[in-house]
Amino acid sequence: MWGGRFAASPDETMKAINASIDVDQRMWREDIAGSKAHAAMLTAQGILTQEDGAAIQRGLDEIAAEIAAGAFPFSIDLEDIHLNIEARLTERIGEAGKRLHTGRSRNDQVATDFRLWVRRSLTEADEALLGLMRILVLQADAHADWIMPGFTHLQTAQPVTLGHHLLAYVEMFARDRDRLQATFAHADACPLGSAALAGTPYPIDRQATATALGFSRPMANSLDGVASRDFAMEALNSLAIGAVHLSRLAEEIVLWTSSHFRFARLSDGWSTGSSIMPQKRNPDAAELIRAKAARIAANAQSLMMIVKALPLTYAKDLQDDKALTFEAFDAFLLSVGAMAGMMSTIQFDRGNLRQAATFGYSTATDLADWLVTHLNMPFREAHHVTGAVVKAAEAHGVAELCDLPLSVFQAIEPRITAAVIPLLSVEASVAARASYGGTAPERVRENVARLRDELGLKA
C-alpha cells in the first residue's frame, strides 16, 4: 500500500509490532460505513465519477457480506482493517477502488471508525445499566420493608431496609449512565475529512459525511480531529467508575452469601461448586466482577499514559488505544450482565437479615434521639447516657435494648419512661427514619414509584 518509496519489505518483527488487524478487524462495520459515506460525498461533490462511486458502493457492500459470512481473507501483511478492506476493494472492482482514498488518510479514517465504535458501545453500556437498574428497583420494591443491618466500618451501625440499600446502587448507576451519555455527546463530532492532519485541497463536504454517519457536526480543527482520543479516555474512565460501583455490590454479594452472614443465597445458575469440597457454593461471578473492575480501571490509566505527552498530531502509539478500549467495554458488559443475572435470582433470608440488624445494640441512636426529643437533653449528653445504657445491657447479658428492663434505664436516667421501650425495636427504628432520603419503608416506596416511572417499569 505504501511500498512505492521502499526497495525492501519490512522485517518480520517489524510487521508483528506494526500490525493491528487482529484487534481492529472488530471495527469493520464502522470502517465500511465510513468509506461508504466518504465515497458518496466524493461522488456528490464531483470528485469521483458517478460510475466509480457506484462501483465503490457495490464493492463495499459485497465486502461487508463477505466479512459477515466469515469469508474475508484478513492479512497481516496489510497491517490493519483499513488497508485490508481497501486492498480487497481494488481486487474486486479494479481501478475505482484505488480512488476511494482521495481526500482522506488512515489518520482521519481510524479516528472516525473508533469514534463510531465507542459511540455505539457507550449506548450498549448505557442500556445494559438501565436493565440492571430495573432489576434492582423491582427487588427494592419486593423488599421495601425487609430489615437488615446498615454498616459503617463493616460494624453494625443502624438498622436499614433492604429496599433502601438496593436503591443506593440504583442512584450510583443512574449517575454512571449520565456520565456515559455525556461522553457520547463529547464523542458526537466527526473527524473524517481532517485527512492526514491539515485538511485537504479537494472540495469535500464535511457536513455531509458527518450527517451520513450520524454525527451532529464535523470536528472544527483537523489537527484535533486526528490527534484527540479524549472521547475514549472519558469512556474508559466512566466505565471504570461504573465498574467500581459494580465491584462494591459484588463484594456485598460475596459477604451476604458467606456462611457467616447468611443474608442471601445465589441461585444455582449463578453459583459454582468446588472440585473438592462438595458443600461449597461459590460466588465466582461476583468475585470476577471485582477483578474486572481492576482491569477496566487499569485500561483507563493505560490509555491516558499512551496519550500523555504525545505531541500533535497522530503517532502510532495511538494504535494501541483500541485493544484497551475493546477489552474495557467487553469486561464492563460482561460484569453488568452477570450482576443482572445474580440480582434477579438472588434469594434473601428475611429472618437472618432481621436478626443481624439487632446485633450490636443497633438502635442505641434511637434512645439518644428520644432523650433529646422528650427530655430536651443536649445530644452530646444523650449520647453519653445511651452509652451507659448499652454498657448496662452488656453487663446484664441482654442482646437488644428493647428487652432491657425499665429499671435498668431508670437507674441511669430516672426521667426515662416506658414509652421509649417500643421505640427501640428495629422496626420502629427504620420507620422513624422518614426524613427525605431516609430508610423508612414509606420513603423507599416513594423512590420505587418515582424510579418505576423514570425507568419505564409499569407499577
Count of residues near ligand ARG by CB under 6 A: 11
- The SS3 call for residue 8 is coil
Q: What is the pattern of x (binds ligand ARG, CB under 6 A) and - over residues 29-68? A: ----------------------------------------
Taking CB under 6 A as the rule, does residue 118 contact ligand ARG?
A: no
Q: Which of 35, 43, 84, 107 binds ligand ARG (CB under 6 A)?
A: 107
Q: Which of 106, 134, 164, 165 binds ligand ARG (CB under 6 A)?
A: 106
Q: How far apart are CA 128 and CA 416, in angstroms?
A: 53
Nearest to 443 by CA among 432, 459, 454: 432
Q: How far apart are CA 191 and CA 111, in angstroms?
A: 6
Taking CB under 6 A as the rule, does residue 226 contact ligand ARG?
A: no
Q: Is 186 a catalytic residue?
A: no
Which of 159/191 has CB closer to ligand ARG? 191
Per the residue annotation, which of 153, 259, 407, 435 is the catalytic one? Answer: 153
Only one residue has cell 461508504, namely 36
Which of 24/366 has CB closer to ligand ARG? 24
Taking CB under 6 A as the rule, does residue 110 contact ligand ARG?
A: yes
Stretch that binds ligand ARG, among 209-217, 312-320, 341-349, 427-435 (CB under 6 A): 312-320
Which of 110/241 has CB closer to ligand ARG? 110
Sign of CA dihedral 310, 315, 319, 320: negative
Closest distance to ligand ARG from the beta carbon of 127 (Å): 27
Closest distance to ligand ARG from the beta carbon of 250 (Å): 33
Report 1-20 residues binding ligand ARG (CB under 6 A).
20
Burial category of 213 from C-beta neighbours within 10 Å (exposed 0-12, middle 13-18, buried 19 and up): buried
Taking CB under 6 A as the rule, does residue 318 contact ligand ARG?
A: yes
Which of 308/316 has CB closer to ligand ARG? 316
Q: How far apart are CA 15 and CA 31, in angstroms?
A: 22
Closest distance to ligand ARG from the beta carbon of 316 (Å): 6
Which of 140/187 has CB closer to ligand ARG? 187
110 and 320 in contact (C-beta within 8 Å)?
no
422 and 402 in contact (C-beta within 8 Å)?
yes
Stretch that binds ligand ARG, among 91-99, 102-110, 163-171, 348-356 (CB under 6 A): 102-110
DSSP line for 48-110:
S-HHHHHHHHHHHHHHHHHHHTT-----GGG-SHHHHHHHHHHHHHGGGGGGTTTT--HHHHH
The full length of the chain comes to: 459
Q: How far apart are CA 256 and CA 266, in angstroms?
A: 10
Instruction: Count Cβ atoms below 10 Å from residue 163 Cβ, excluding itself.
Output: 25
- The SS3 call for residue 265 is strand
Q: How far apart are CA 258 and CA 269, in angstroms?
A: 17
Q: Is 274 a catalytic residue?
A: yes
Backbone phi and psi for residue 428, each to the nearest 5 degrees, phi listed first = -65, -35
Rg (C-alpha) for the chain, rounded Å, is: 31
Per the residue annotation, which of 75, 258, 267, 274 is the catalytic one? Answer: 274
Taking CB under 6 A as the rule, does residue 126 contact ligand ARG?
A: no
Q: What is the pattern of x (binds ligand ARG, CB under 6 A) and - over residues 76-95? A: ----x-x-------------
Q: Which of 237, 319, 358, 386 binds ligand ARG (CB under 6 A)?
A: 319
Q: How far apart are CA 440 and CA 193, in angstroms?
A: 57
Stretch that binds ligand ARG, among 38-46, 103-111, 295-303, 402-410 (CB under 6 A): 103-111
Binding site for ligand ARG (CB under 6 A): 20, 24, 80, 82, 106-107, 110, 314, 316, 318-319
Give catalytic residues, as residue numbers.
153, 274
